[in-house]
Structure 1
């Protein structure tokens, strides 16, 4: 039975096959002859650094990462982890996308749980450099091995893994929401704000309006507590505990009201939604606004205007339709959501909006090519309301065409579930 190859035996074999001496190889690799000799011949041999391993690999003409699987043993010489070798190796594996080696190193490291804080720090280092996805394996390692289930370190790891997920996979996002949510209150407040904002967004795209309402209330409550605390402590020598939040505090405060108002609207509580709308329509009273905060205030003012039209239409006030169309012309970014409202209102109160549909049909069709979850959601909801509109006006073939288009796109995009119920469509298909 042949002995298991080691990193040194593989290097020695390469040198012999190519006729290199220590002296000749040191010249082409850039590694000192004496250093190279002690790495292979000393007893015990001198450890090889990952930089030296890369120089050897380059000199022998192999691709980057050659023998990295065997180099893992070099990181745990005599069975003990050596962080001065492990950290550069892990960072190099991150650069090369060697997730297999990263997982093997982390698995061996966590045989000693005292390394968990060190692993967390490396994840934080990568995260702070903007390499959020690359940091995930390190946060997951902390999640699996943290001894203290109520530690801030565990909560932050859960949060940053959750935050790195994309909206493109809503099923996976929901799984992460459910796993992360119990940890949200263990986070520092500046992380809590963005965490609740992201939770609310995911539930919004899944059309889970009870959850949107719940976390909207939670967001505005937390933002208000932080705001009041700031005002009480204003002028005192104390670091602003929310200064590192991703967005201005006024954004989270307004977004809480916006979320609750939207959820109430979707659940059919239009008058209650109007009351919540007042909470974000004018936030100019908010103290401590900078340029970013002022921009947020203006954005919420615009959203409130658009949503005020929405709620009036849903209450049956069709007289505002010309004014609403003029608003949409001046704010084209609101057209997608606006057309859904117009169709929903037309379906509810049975009035004709054919000219509006014709005017914007080409613009709406372009949404089906979008990869953005928000735009995709708009398109699906538009097709749903348009199918109902055609059915109610006796245009059965057009309604069926829109229904099939809706279902086809849902399947193509592997949507977690249709964003609106098909039961109502089936009912409308029976209409004369």
Structure 2
């Protein structure tokens, strides 16, 4: 059966069910004349005809797609009006091998680069990233103008699609994409710089974060403060961005504060925090603007407490805990900051951990759509586990300490973070003498996985 043609199977179905062309056409809800032409091979089968026939035959959607490519698309000049809808259906049904076959058929002719790119954009917008990745990759390969904006946009989309939990791969993707940033539309460059800075922030590549943040802020200021632009032109710029334009100016300061935090320069981080706390210069008044102003107000309030605390002003701890009570959405991050300060200044914060115990349990590795936290959570969670391990083992609470150590080591392996794996292994060796036989066995199993990975 599988070696027969599509029309042979359809004809066999008609005979087996004692149908005439008129009855079959009624089942298909297609004009009887059209069905007659299709069955006799006098008219080309479209994907709509094919889907209707597949449904009437009681077969799963896309059942005939591989054969359709072989029988109707390989040996003729492809017609986008017919092949475009079919490619869309393949992508929607997740038939990625079919997508690859069709793209390979088309890309010998560069005239298909534009419709393929437009379809990729539609799929990307709708969240069909796997199919979109295939299209972007092939369009980029076929793009002859190496400095074209379309090539740069393909590379940006591929960067966004491919970022995941493996930090080594993420770094590779960042290096591949970064040379294309300045070839993008000047407005879209802001989001590209923001996304790159967020990724490097997760990797704690502070010099790159600082450079990208300042470039983003500089470009955003030029666009925001231009006197030669009409209100309509401003709105057109705004429509291309994922956030209000002023957000990128303020986000430069927030990222620079993060850089200073990463370098343990909390006094300078506090200065940057005061800068993005003052957004009185923002002139827009719409609801989206108000949302982001409130968000920056909340972030700055929290980070002023944090930077004072990490600078050694332990007196703000009580006020910071009260702030967290009033802003439950900040508790997870707040616990992390308090934990870091506790380890830095040998503070006993058990009473705070007890109050927020449920939040600590819920603080698990997760992706988020938050502009500020996107792409940094997996590594951030890893640091949290390390600090919890350090806190409890140095207090002599080895049961809790080893529990968090094993979680952290497992997570470090998951995100392929080599320096973090080493940190947890070193910490374990320091307190191995207090580990139970079961803990040692768990540790040995994880280390064996690490050894096999690197030997491979």
Decide: shared fold, TM above 0.5: yes
Mapped contact 1:139–1:161 kept (Cα < 8 A): yes
Deviations 1:159-178 (A, max 9, x none): 22323346555555444323
- Cα distance in 2 for partners of 1:247, 1:21 equals 60
The match for 1:116 is 113
- Cα distance in 2 for partners of 1:191, 1:236 equals 18
The match for 1:351 is 347
Q: How has the CA–CA distance of structure 1 residues 14 and 358 changed in structure 2, closer, same or farther, with 3 Å as cutoff?
A: same
Unmatched 5+ stretches in structure 2:
369-374, 434-456
Deviations 1:337-368 (A, max 9, x none): 22222222222222322322222233201223
| Structure 1 length-normalised TM | 0.87
- Cα distance in 1 for partners of 2:234, 2:243 equals 20
1:189 aligned counterpart, secondary structure: coil
Mapped contact 1:184–1:195 kept (Cα < 8 A): yes
Mapped contact 1:213–1:264 kept (Cα < 8 A): no
- Cα distance in 2 for partners of 1:265, 1:425 equals 25
Q: Give, in angstroms, the shift of residue 323 of structure 1.
A: 1.3
The match for 2:207 is 210
Deviations 1:299-336 (A, max 9, x none): 11221121111111111111111111111111122222
- Cα distance in 1 for partners of 2:202, 2:397 equals 30
Which shifted more, 232-241 or 318-327?
A: 232-241
Q: How has the CA–CA distance of structure 1 residues 305 and 17 changed in structure 2, closer, same or farther, with 3 Å as cutoff?
A: same
Deviations 1:35-59 (A, max 9, x none): 23333436xx321111111222222
The match for 1:39 is 38
Pairs within 5 Å for 1:242-253: 242-253=238-249
- Cα distance in 1 for partners of 2:149, 2:78 equals 26
2:204 aligned counterpart, secondary structure: coil
Q: How has the CA–CA distance of structure 1 residues 226 and 369 changed in structure 2, closer, same or farther, with 3 Å as cutoff?
A: closer
- Cα distance in 1 for partners of 2:399, 2:37 equals 82
The match for 2:21 is 22
The match for 2:388 is 386
The match for 1:93 is 90
- Cα distance in 1 for partners of 2:20, 2:155 equals 52
Unmatched 5+ stretches in structure 1:
none
- Cα distance in 2 for partners of 1:238, 1:334 equals 34
1:150 to 140, 144, 147: 147
Mapped contact 2:216–2:248 kept (Cα < 8 A): yes
Mapped contact 1:170–1:202 kept (Cα < 8 A): no
- Cα distance in 2 for partners of 1:105, 1:161 equals 20
1:184 to 173, 181, 193: 181
- Cα distance in 2 for partners of 1:3, 1:398 equals 60
2:30 aligned counterpart, secondary structure: coil
Which shifted more, 389-398 or 239-248?
A: 389-398
- Cα distance in 1 for partners of 2:234, 2:304 equals 40
- Cα distance in 2 for partners of 1:177, 1:275 equals 29
Mapped contact 1:204–1:212 kept (Cα < 8 A): yes
Q: Give, in angstroms, the shift of residue 93 of structure 1.
A: 1.6
- Cα distance in 2 for partners of 1:247, 1:29 equals 48
The match for 2:160 is 163
Is residue 11 of structure 1 aligned with residue 7 of structure 2? no
| Structure 2 length-normalised TM | 0.83
- Cα distance in 1 for partners of 2:385, 2:122 equals 45
Q: Give, in angstroms, the shift of residue 268 of structure 1.
A: 1.5
Mapped contact 1:388–1:428 kept (Cα < 8 A): no
- Cα distance in 1 for partners of 2:188, 2:426 equals 44
Deviations 1:161-200 (A, max 9, x none): 3233465555554443232221111111332222222222
Q: How has the CA–CA distance of structure 1 residues 62 and 243 changed in structure 2, closer, same or farther, with 3 Å as cutoff?
A: closer
Mapped contact 1:388–1:425 kept (Cα < 8 A): no
Q: How has the CA–CA distance of structure 1 residues 65 and 144 changed in structure 2, closer, same or farther, with 3 Å as cutoff?
A: same
2:61 to 64, 81, 86: 64
Q: Give, in angstroms, the shift of residue 267 of structure 1.
A: 1.4
Pairs within 5 Å for 1:281-430: 281-368=277-364, 370=366, 376-395=378-397, 398-411=400-413, 414-417=414-417, 420=420, 422-423=422-423, 426=426, 430=430
- Cα distance in 1 for partners of 2:143, 2:217 equals 31
Matched residue count: 426
Mapped contact 1:50–1:85 kept (Cα < 8 A): yes
